[in-house]
Structure 1
């Protein structure tokens, strides 16, 4: 199915793959990386990225596609900033994680403490 015959509310197979890549990527993904990973021509990759960007915008998703100097990245939509910020601060308060070194240090301290 080519992009031109794909309805605007449905992503093509390549568009779905690009969406998945950008969703799990820690840093921006360049167009060249998309071309290499999907084995598609650069023009097709650029067209698919634009189609994904339009899809996210037109369907009112909580995610948006942004172009950065290093490539493309998926971020949360501006409209969701308040709830995302609230969630992140709640998670940080509830789940304070210690480094491996800190856990080892606490284990040594606990082991050497006298038992009463």
Structure 2
């Protein structure tokens, strides 16, 4: 499953970079594409986090904008998926372009969208 997740991250990065501008950062994908649980990453001030409710979905959001993986992403409504993705800094246009399956995969992985290509 780890290889599939890395391939998805790479494919999404390449597609978004080639098409224009943004990618999302997963909590457990490093530049070398090795994976490490969030608990093994050194602690910084950006690790401060808060519990939030977004359309009835319990979300843990870090100070730097990352969202912890959503365990029940398969049970969320389309509106809930969209709202949490917007909290992850995706634009409405980007969210509307994603399939529901991709939305669920992104939320299950957690993270935040970051600008990558300029």
- Give the TM-score range, shorter chain: under 0.3
Greater CA radius of gyration, 1 or 2? 1
TM-score by structure 2 length? Answer: 0.23
TM-score by structure 1 length? Answer: 0.23
Bigger share in strand: 2
